Structures are given as C-alpha cells and as structure tokens.
Amino acid sequence: MYLEIVTPEASLVSGEVESVTVPGMDGEFQMLNNHAAIVALLMEGTVKFKGNPTIAEGYQEKFTQNDGQWSMAISGGTIEMNNNKVMVLAD
C-alpha cells in the first residue's frame, strides 16, 4: 500500500509500505494492504510503518528506525485510507 505523511511544514513520507500503525481515539490501530476504507482522528502518539518509503530530505531526524519499523511522534491529526492509499495529515 502507498503511504503519505503530510504536516503543515512539508510532505515528509511517500512510498510503498507493508503496514501502518497509528494512535486512534480509542487506542492504537494498524492497517495492512486491502484494509477497508476509513477516515479517523488521530491522538497524540506515534505513527509507525514498515517498509522503505522516501523520507523528505531534511526531515530524517523526525524518524527513528528499529528492526525495519519507522516511528514518528505526532501531536494529533487525521488519517484516511482508501484503495490501498494511506494519507496521514499530522500535527
């Protein structure tokens, strides 16, 4: 599936990933390939993804990597998944 992470500053991430985990209002949830369409609010927490998408130059310090999983802290936002494309609008 294709992931994009966008903040008010810039588009930080774009590319193919295996999974995305986000901090939802009722707790953390994960999306895999062919997940049902969803739009949800995100709470303060960590966005995690597995894969090797492109991280925008100058923003690599916002991410940590551990065993092939990337992580980035957010203070909130929204997520939309539709047709194997995940769009995270993060604060």
Report the C-alpha gap between 7 and 47 in whole angstroms. 13
CATH 2.60.15.10 correct for 2-78: yes
| Ranges of each domain in the chain | 2-78
Q: Specify the pTM.
A: 0.93
DSSP character for 8?
A: S
Q: Is 77 exposed, middle or buried (0-12, 13-18, 19+ CB in 10 A)?
A: buried
pLDDT at 68: 87
The pLDDT profile of the chain, 91 residues, written as one tens digit per residue, is: 999 999 999 999 999 999 999 999 999 999 999 999 999 999 999 999 999 899 999 999 999 999 889 999 999 999 999 999 999 999 9
Report the C-alpha gap between 25 and 53 in whole angstroms. 26
pLDDT at 83: 96
pLDDT at 30: 96
Residue 18 corresponds to which tokens in the numbers above? 């295996």
